[in-house]
Structure 1
Amino acid sequence: MSILRRLFVFPFILLLLTLGCAEKSAEQGKEKPHVRGIITDFEEERGQVLIENKEDGGVDSGPIWVSLSKDAELIIEEEIVTVSLDETLVGRSAEVWINGVIAQSYPPQTKAVKMVIH
């Protein structure tokens, strides 16, 4: 009888683990962007855009150079695109999610894992 109870409990534990993982994935998708602001410049040689970063509440936290990582998701006007960054994006607003690494240069530089252009 002990084995029968264990066999009954095992699927229940798997169900709870699955639900817990699904909840975490949904929360990660709703994470706030790390960089948000207006694209003010483009550097063709490095494929980077300069974003005047605005924190929540509109506080200016300075410019940051952003390029796309190898597997980055670029969304322009709510459509996923496969083009690279270019000078036509200057003047548009952007939201950027990064992998957490920011080079300590001035202005700082980072790679985006996801970029949304409005």
Structure 2
Amino acid sequence: MKKHLILLLILCFTLVGCKQKEDAVKGGIDKKGFITKIYSKGNRILVDDVDTGLIWMAMPDNGEIENYEEGQEVVIWINGGIDESYPAKAKALNIENSNGNQSQSSLPKFIFKNEKFPPSINCFVKINDIRYEMTKGNSKWKNENESVQTDAASPTQIAESFKVIAVEPNNKITIEIEQNPNLSVYLWDSEEDEVTFEKKQITVPTNQGRYIYEVVAKWSNGEVSYTFVVEVK
């Protein structure tokens, strides 16, 4: 009887110790917010935290980025500190859904104005009050009755035939795409792939050279990639 009691006590202490260890590793919730962008190539998500604002969160070692979607509310435990850049950057120790499997979409819905499907969209960049049309790449659309997905050349391949736009160092570029999509801008062949921008404007680099940009426009029912190329003189 005493032997059984001792074994039971040992088991209880072991379970309590494991739980305390788990809590110590996990700790309290560091950040909570909605996912505004998902960058699969860089294995990270952009979260809009109430206190910090926008913060790029690298996925935990056992995390799968396919499990998340834009508009989803998550709670995050941070592994280490936060890089106070803009947006801020951090490594996640653990990420969980805030409300089970519920999510809130922050993407606008594209309104099909006529019977043409997929739609033809006006897409330009404006530099020094001059508008230049971007070249369309991959796209995917869905409406109530059908869906379509098209595959195109990569931005680097599209750039080979794109008429390069000459710009000055630190020129501002405004992105103009109808129906106000959620925008992401990527600079190809660069260590810092995603470009930070405000009010639909990006700033070109100061160094001379040729730069390939990809603009990804997202609606809740569609997504289109566009490419343009500039050369800083």
TM-score scaled by length of structure 2: 0.31
Instruction: Please give the residue correspondences for 1:1-118 in structure 2 after superposition, counting only pairs within 5 Å.
Output: 22=17, 24-25=20-21, 27-28=23-24, 31-54=27-50, 60-70=51-61, 72=62, 74=63, 84-86=64-66, 89-117=69-97, 118=100
RMSD, matched Cα? 2.9
Unmatched segments (≥5 aa) in structure 2: 1-9, 101-233
Change (3 A) 1:27 1:39: same
Deviation at 1:27, TM superposition (A): 4.3
Query: Which residue identity does 1:42 align to in structure 2?
Result: I
C-alpha distance in 1, partners of 2:26/2:58?
22
Query: Is the Cα–Cα contact under 8 Å of residues 42 and 86 in structure 1 kept in the other structure?
Result: no
Deviation at 1:41, TM superposition (A): 0.9
Cα deviation digits, residues 10-58 of structure 1 (max 9, x gap): xxxxx8xx68x8274264267321111111111222121111112xxxx
Moved more, 41-50 or 25-34: 25-34
Query: Which residue identity does 2:83 align to in structure 1?
Result: A
TM-score scaled by length of structure 1: 0.57
C-alpha distance in 1, partners of 2:52/2:22?
29
C-alpha distance in 1, partners of 2:25/2:40?
30
C-alpha distance in 1, partners of 2:75/2:22?
19
C-alpha distance in 2, partners of 1:24/1:87?
28
Q: Which position in structure 2 is the counterpart of 1:5?
A: none
Unmatched segments (≥5 aa) in structure 1: 1-14, 55-59, 75-83
Going by fraction, where is helix more abundant, 1 or 2?
1
Change (3 A) 1:44 1:26: closer
C-alpha distance in 2, partners of 1:30/1:88?
20
Query: Which residue identity does 2:69 align to in structure 1?
Result: L
Higher RCO structure (Cα 8 Å, ≥6 apart): 1
C-alpha distance in 2, partners of 1:41/1:27?
29
Identity of aligned residues (%): 24
Which consecutive aligned stretches of 4+ in structure 1 deviate over 4 angstroms post-superposition? Answer: none
2:21 aligns to what SS in structure 1? helix
Query: Which residue identity does 1:115 align to in structure 2?
Result: I
Change (3 A) 1:26 1:35: same
Change (3 A) 1:27 1:86: closer
